[in-house]
Amino acid sequence: MKIMYDVIIVGAGPTGLAAGIYSAFFGLRTLILESNKKAGGRVLKARTIVNYPGFPEKVTGHKLVAKMVHQAEEAGAELHTSEEVVNLSCKKRKCVETKRDVYYSNALILASGAGMTGLDLQGATWIGDGVAYCRECNEPLIREMDIIVIGNTERAVDEAIYLSKIATHVRLVNYANLITMGTKVKEKLKKNGVELIEDFVGEAVKGEPPHKQLVLRHLRSSELRKLKTNIVLVISPVVPFVSVLRRAGIATHRAGCVIVDEFGRTNVEGVFAAGSCASVMKDIIPSCVGDGTTVAACACLYVKHKT
């Protein structure tokens, strides 16, 4: 006899774990399915987190998610790792298929997160202090520093200009030369004192903070350039993992995120989405945790009133 869950959560990043904690708190039979061997999502890649409320002393990604996993399991949520959701069927009863089993629930919370793409940085050693992937997450560490921003999107340009107000020196490496840098954009960068480095790709980051060295390689000639800096900020496009969801008829924006209303409801009844799969603007841990919590409360109301 198959168990009927009240809520199944797809993904055990901070969004899915927060949703799991609250869903179990509300007394709902809750299952969290995670494709990776370890729960935690991209937080596992964060070495030092300085922006999570309640941890002024800083915390590693591993430690923070270990606490969230513990709290979710203590609250009564079941967590299955190494279970990638490969198919969804979202009629009144939701059917969730993994490579190992099939599960059923009244409501679904999608918290499948996002990945970073477009970083063709072969041979680079992007691990260690002095390399950041998110300005908002590291702003206190970035102020009054020499910064090199790497990125080929409009967001990278915006970040470089923003940083020019708070950093001592900002350089922007437009590594794939993909922005059709109109004269206006270039002038704006210049006006704000941002030095633009075109046609180079990041090769490696060396040294200990605050004395980092970024090695760049020219796209065509293979010439190497070594730049001294304090912080390398990598701005890469964030792309939500939504292919399984789309196949199940869940609507997404052109940019890729699941379309949700203020309660996290998707276009399919009983299916909710939260965190970075629903908005790349929410792609920081505190926002994801808040979003997962809100959506769990809305899913709880749905389960208690509608089923």
Ligand X SMILES: Cc1cc2nc3c(=O)[nH]c(=O)nc-3n(C[C@H](O)[C@H](O)[C@H](O)COP(=O)(O)OP(=O)(O)OC[C@H]3O[C@@H](n4cnc5c(N)ncnc54)[C@H](O)[C@@H]3O)c2cc1C
Residues that bind ligand X (CB under 6 A): 10-16, 33-36, 41-43, 45-46, 49, 51, 84-85, 111-114, 133-134, 137, 241, 244, 275-276, 283-285, 288
Strands of 52-145, DSSP E: 78-80, 85-90, 94-98, 102-110, 114-116, 131-132
In whole angstroms, how close is the CB of 41 to ligand X at the nearest point? 2
Structure tokens at 141: 């560490």
Nearest CB to ligand X, comparing residues 158 and 198: 158
CB of 244 to ligand X, least distance (A): 5
Nearer to ligand X, 43 or 189 (CB): 43
Positive or negative, the CA dihedral 240, 258, 18, 129 is: positive
Query: At a CB cut-off of 8 Å and minimum separation 6, what does 187 contact?
Result: none
**Residue type (1 letter), 138:** N
Minimum CB distance to ligand X smaller for 125 or for 177? 125
> Which C-beta is closer to ligand X: that of 88 or that of 176?
88
Residue for token digits 């796209």? 219
Distance between CA 215 and CA 107 in Å, rounded?
49
Which residue, 82 or 168, has its beta carbon nearer to ligand X? 82
Query: How far from the centroid of its chain's Cα atoms is residue 28's Cα?
Result: 27
Q: How far is the CB of 122 from ligand X (least distance, A)?
A: 18
Q: Minimum distance between the CB of residue 229 and ligand X, rounded to whole angstroms?
A: 18
Nearer residue to ligand X within complex by CB, 35 or 174:
35
Measured CA to CA, the distance from residue 275 to residue 111 in angstroms comes to 6
In whole angstroms, how close is the CB of 161 to ligand X at the nearest point?
Answer: 22
Closest distance between ligand X and the C-beta of residue 230, in Å?
17
**DSSP output for 267-300:** SSTTEEE-GGGT-GGG-SHHHHHHHHHHHHHHHH
CB atoms within 10 A of CB 226: 11
Closest separation between CB of residue 291 and ligand X, Å?
A: 8
Cβ atoms 266, 107 nearer than 8 A = no
Q: 285 with 271: CB under 8 angstroms?
A: no
Query: Based on CB atoms, which residue is closest to ligand X, 84 or 195?
Result: 84
Write down the least CB distance from residue 189 to ligand X, Å: 26
- Select 123 or 182, whichever has its Cβ closest to ligand X: 123
Q: How far is CA 280 from CA 115, 134, 238, 284, in A?
A: 10, 12, 7, 9
